[in-house]
Amino acid sequence: MIRFENVSKRYPNGREALSGVSFNMERGDFVFLTGPSGAGKSTLLKLIALIERPTRGTVLVNNQNLARISRRRIPAFRQRLGVVFQDHKLLYDRSVFDNVALPLVIAGASRRETEKRVRAALDQVGLRGRESHAPITLSTGEQQRVGIARAVAPRPDVLIADEPTGNLDPELSLEIMELFTRFNEVGVTLLIATHDLELIERLPHRRLKLVGGQMSGDKKRGRA
Amino acid sequence: MEALRHYFRLHRNNCVDAVARIIRQPFASSLTILVIAIALALPAGLRVAVNNADAVSESWQGAADFTVYLKLDVTTDAARRTARTIEARDDVAAVALVDRDAALAEFRAKSGFGEALDALDANPLPHALVVRPESGVAADVEALASAIGKLPEADVVQVDTAWVARLRAMLALAGRLVDFATVVLGLAVTIVVGNTIRLEINSRSVEIEVTKLVGGTDGFIRRPFLYLGFCYGLAGALVAALVVALGLLLLDAPVRAVAALYGSGFALRGLSLIETGVLLAGGALLGWAGAGLAAARHLRAIEPK
């Protein structure tokens, strides 16, 4: 589902964020991407979301070579990819409903379909009934869950998340991870970047470890 | 069908959102709209002025008429014959005879020189013919006048159309200048809206970034800004139309008074329905274009990081 072949990324300032990274994820995998800050986790996720392009190597998502996706086709690609950000990236001048509905509106879902899916997504993240609230009135954990609801509302095949529990206390973090596990159970492929080792020790998923831009570990555990 | 409904719903939402945004910042928005309105009211107002001057000069079309004063010794019968001769020409539309006795009576009644006239032995006025040429072209009128001047009965031919020709030429020039001003000020509207939209794009960069991240196409992201430009242009054009109408309202009474002094029923003409339509559509289109330019230039720069 996600395949990196000898991928390197050097930024214009000369810093090499990734060097020669290769790995493969099958459909339905749940993988943690770990490593210290600055190890290249965010860069790796940005390559998947086509926010950045690799300097060398090949990235395949759903058997599609991302190098072949022109700038014009990036929106269509992103519509099939769920992305969760550490800083939520919510729009604070809109209601929770409008935030979660955004990708559905972009994709051209009917009003009824949009309402149904937004409610379902908010229900899944435990925010049923908060549709009309302003995001700013919610706690950080709740805002993160709105961000997750937005990512899963269009029912993407692949969900990537960059430090989704970065600002949350351990209890909330575990809740979020349980949420991701439930998505994984219905077939969503997940790649979650986190440096919260304590948290992922408690979960039985495969771990990829990046150090200094290189793949330094690939632990397959549990059902892999 | 569903896709079409979705498309129209998006457009309606964009439109409602644009109006809401303009209303939400009343001060900044009204400044922008006023600048646009002034830039549009100027050419619109000048256009109205030229149209009215045209209308006035048209009512002077009769000024192509010229007067032939016959010699004093021409009798009334001879004058009638001359009139018929002239009227028979192909290049003459009509001839009116001003009888010398009737002219004297009128002069006596209206001029207040009645007693002075009594001191005269005989009527000092000649018979006169007012000739209306078929063609209003200055050269044709001149040719006709000189031909009639050679008739033995004719004494003096008085043509007074040169200034009308000059006025018409100047009005045509004024019309061209208004065209030029319209283009320049239209460009100004585009720039004003473009700059406003540029600021709007900058202040909404987070929204644009997030929309791009969740798969928003360039068209989807651009559309709200195009509608905003469209609404600014349309609002500016509406205010411009009101300004022109208000100006006409203020000038109407004085113009009527002046016209009455000249014995004319002339009244100011405002923008016609079509001209108003062109003004509104033009304003909206220029706003749209300005927004399109700003969007093309600045939306690409905002990419997710």
- Gap from B293 CA to chain A (nearest CA, Å): 19
Q: Chain A partners of B24 at a C-beta cutoff of 8 Å? A: none
Q: Do A110 and B2 touch (CB under 8 A)?
A: yes
Range with lowest mean pLDDT among A89-93, B62-66, B68-72: B62-66
pLDDT in tens, A27-76: 999 999 998 888 899 999 999 999 999 999 999 999 899 999 999 999 99
Residue B239 to residue B260: CA distance in whole angstroms: 32
Q: Chain A partners of B217 at a C-beta cutoff of 8 Å? A: 75-76, 106
Q: How far is CA B277 from CA A41, A125, B44, B283, in A?
A: 58, 52, 12, 10
Q: Rounded mean pLDDT of chain B?
A: 87
- Gap from B243 CA to chain A (nearest CA, Å): 36
Confidence of residue A203 (pLDDT cuts 50, 70, 90): confident
Q: What is the pLDDT, as a whole number, of residue A223?
A: 43
As a whole number, mean pLDDT of residues A97-105 equals: 94
Q: Do A75 and B10 touch (CB under 8 A)?
A: no
Confidence of residue B111 (pLDDT cuts 50, 70, 90): confident
Q: What is the pLDDT, as a whole number, of residue B161?
A: 65
As a whole number, mean pLDDT of residues A99-111 equals: 91
Cβ of residue B9 closer than 8 Å to a chain A Cβ: yes
Residue A17 to residue A47: CA distance in whole angstroms: 11
Q: Which of A43, A89, A100, A111 to mutate to test the interface with B (most CBs of B within 10 A)?
A: A89
Confidence of residue B60 (pLDDT cuts 50, 70, 90): low
| pLDDT > 90 fraction of chain B, expressed in percent and rounded | 41
pLDDT at B195 over 90: yes
Give the neighbor-by-neighbor strand order of the sheet with A2-10.
A16-25, A2-10, A56-61, A64-65
Task: Detail the DSSP E strand segments found in chain B.
Answer: 66-70, 92-98, 128-133, 154-158
pLDDT at B62 over 60: no
Q: Could you tell me the sign of the dihedral formed by the alpha carbons of A90, A93, A95, A101, in that order? A: negative
pLDDT at B61 over 70: no
Q: Do A89 and B209 touch (CB under 8 A)?
A: yes
Q: What is the pLDDT, as a whole number, of residue B59?
A: 67
With 0-12 / 13-18 / 19 or more C-beta atoms within 10 angstroms meaning exposed / middle / buried, residue B88 is exposed
Of A51, A81, A93, the CB nearest to B305: A51
pLDDT at A224 over 50: no
Residue B251 to residue A209: CA distance in whole angstroms: 82
Q: What is the pLDDT, as a whole number, of residue A202?
A: 82
Range with lowest mean pLDDT among A51-55, B62-66, B103-107, B282-286: B62-66
Please give the residue of chain B at the shortest CA–CA distance from A111. Answer: B6
Neighbours of B28 (CB within 10 A): 13
Q: Do A93 and B207 touch (CB under 8 A)?
A: yes
Q: What is the pLDDT, as a whole number, of residue B130?
A: 87
Contact B125, B155 (CB under 8 A): no
Confidence of residue B44 (pLDDT cuts 50, 70, 90): very high
Q: Which of A99, A105, A152 to mutate to test the interface with B (most CBs of B within 10 A)?
A: A105
Q: Do B206 and A91 touch (CB under 8 A)?
A: yes
- Gap from B25 CA to chain A (nearest CA, Å): 14
Confidence of residue B115 (pLDDT cuts 50, 70, 90): confident
Q: What is the pLDDT, as a whole number, of residue B63?
A: 58
Residue B45 to residue B241: CA distance in whole angstroms: 9
First to last CA, chain A: 14
Put simply, whether the predicted model's pTM sits higher than 0.95 gets the answer no
Q: Do A49 and B213 touch (CB under 8 A)?
A: yes
Q: Do B213 and A83 touch (CB under 8 A)?
A: yes
pLDDT in tens, B144-187: 888 888 888 888 888 766 677 778 788 889 999 999 999 999 99
Nearest to A56 by CA among A104, A99, A6, A22: A6
Q: What is the pLDDT, as a whole number, of residue B33?
A: 95
Confidence of residue A104 (pLDDT cuts 50, 70, 90): very high
pLDDT in tens, A123-170: 988 898 899 999 999 998 899 999 999 999 999 999 999 999 887 888
Residue A86 to residue B98: CA distance in whole angstroms: 99
| A127-A128-A134 Cα angle (round to 5) | 60
Cβ of residue B215 closer than 8 Å to a chain A Cβ: yes
Nearest to A16 by CA among A195, A210, A214, A194: A214
Reduced to 3 states, what is the DSSP secondary structure of residue B120?
A: coil
Q: Do B209 and A93 touch (CB under 8 A)?
A: no
Residue A212 to residue B1: CA distance in whole angstroms: 53
Cβ of residue B206 closer than 8 Å to a chain A Cβ: yes
Q: What residue has token string 């790796």?
A: A44
pLDDT at B135 over 60: yes
Please give the residue of chain A at the shortest CA–CA distance from B302. Answer: A51
Task: Provide residues of A within 8 Å CB-CB of chain B.
Answer: 49, 51, 72, 75-81, 83, 85, 89-91, 93, 102-103, 105-111, 150
Q: What is the pLDDT, as a whole number, of residue A221?
A: 63
Q: Which of A13, A45, A50, A78 to mutate to test the interface with B (most CBs of B within 10 A)?
A: A78
Q: Chain B partners of A77 at a C-beta cutoff of 8 Å? A: 215
Contact B14, B219 (CB under 8 A): no
Q: Do B213 and A90 touch (CB under 8 A)?
A: no
Cβ of residue B305 closer than 8 Å to a chain A Cβ: yes
Q: Chain A partners of B212 at a C-beta cutoff of 8 Å? A: 75, 78
pLDDT in tens, B8-35: 888 888 888 888 888 888 898 999 999 9
Please give the residue of chain B at the shortest CA–CA distance from A153. Answer: B214
Compute the CA torsion angle B238, B240, B241, B242 (nearest 10 deg).
90
The torsion region of residue A9 among left (phi > 0), alpha (psi -120 to 50) and beta comes to beta
Q: What is the pLDDT, as a whole number, of residue A193?
A: 94
Q: Chain A partners of B216 at a C-beta cutoff of 8 Å? A: 75, 102, 106
Contact A22, A210 (CB under 8 A): no
As a whole number, mean pLDDT of residues B215-219 equals: 91
